[in-house]
């Protein structure tokens, strides 16, 4: 949505402290190595760049792409602090156009949930156009079960030392509308309020597999988070034909 990831853009990685980024990134790296991919890749919907940095540290020639300038500004800052010379680009998966074709593409942590059903084919087709023949595409979604039964019509909140947020979710016909309010502590000790709206679309596994095939991909495997049961998150490992 238009005002998504303005306040959250610079806070995303900080607020996801409990998702075990290290284990998640190792899972991703292992899946890429299993597919024997080349070194050139793109991290789509890179956010603050954790997975981009993890791939860079493993020797991959990786760039990050995101639709949020705030996300990218923070990603660049953290990369420089870690001595990682990574290129970060402003871009939309449904219009993706890179200067060279890649060996692989990844889109981790709900990137595809922000794409409506009507634009899925465009998103997958643009990823395919930016991959070499035989290139690998790995992405995940929050499952239909998670969005409908865990997030929808529910309230979440967290009161941290520097940031407090309240997160309301409402189930729509094919999506979950998310209203977030942040109270962010400044250097002067005063708090600033910021409000955002997000819309995550509900996708079914078979729908995605069919669309991937139409876009020129072979779906090698689907599995749950870190290779476990496909309950709250589903991973797709695909290869361009």
Per residue, the 3-state secondary structure of 68-90, as one string, reads CHHHHHHHHHHHHHCCCCCEEEE
Q: Does 146 score more than 50 pLDDT?
A: yes
Q: Cα separation of 132 and 217, whole Å?
A: 12
Q: How confident is the model at residue 7 (pLDDT cuts 50, 70, 90)?
A: low
Q: What is the pLDDT of residues 96-115, one digit of tens each?
A: 999 999 999 999 999 999 99
Q: What pLDDT score does 96 carry? A: 96
- Where do runs of H (alpha helix) occur along 35-68? 50-57
pLDDT averaged over the chain?
A: 92
196-210 pLDDT per residue, tens: 999 999 999 999 999
Q: Is the pLDDT assigned to residue 11 strictly greater than 80?
A: no
For range 72-86, the mean pLDDT:
93
Closest CA to 93 of 107, 73, 109, 72: 107
Q: pLDDT tens digits for 162-184?
A: 888 899 999 999 999 999 998 98
pLDDT at 158: 86
Instruction: Report CA Rg, the chain.
Output: 18
């Amino acid at each position: 949505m238009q005002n998504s990831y303005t306040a959250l853009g610079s806070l995303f990685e900080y607020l996801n402290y409990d998702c075990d980024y290290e284990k998640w990134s190792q899972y991703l790296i292992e899946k890429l190595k299993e597919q024997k991919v080349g070194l050139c890749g793109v991290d789509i919907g890179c956010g603050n760049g954790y997975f981009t940095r993890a791939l860079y540290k493993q020797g991959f020639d990786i760039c990050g792409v995101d639709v949020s300038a705030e996300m990218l500004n923070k990603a660049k800052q953290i990369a420089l602090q870690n001595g990682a010379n990574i290129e970060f680009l402003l871009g939309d998966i449904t219009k993706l156009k890179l200067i060279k074709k890649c060996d692989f593409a990844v889109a981790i942590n709900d990137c595809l949930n922000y794409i409506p059903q009507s634009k899925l084919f465009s998103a997958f087709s643009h990823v395919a156009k930016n991959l070499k023949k035989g290139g690998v595409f790995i992405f995940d979604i929050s499952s239909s079960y998670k969005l409908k039964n865990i997030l929808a019509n529910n309230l979440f909140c967290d009161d941290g030392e520097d940031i407090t947020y309240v997160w309301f979710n409402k189930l729509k016909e094919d999506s979950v509308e998310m209203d977030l309010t942040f109270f962010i502590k400044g250097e002067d000790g005063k708090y600033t309020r910021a409000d955002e709206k997000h819309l995550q679309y509900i996708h079914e596994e078979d729908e995605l597999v069919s669309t991937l095939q139409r876009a020129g991909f072979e779906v090698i495997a689907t599995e749950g988070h870190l290779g476990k049961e496909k309950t709250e998150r589903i991973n797709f490992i695909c290869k361009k034909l």
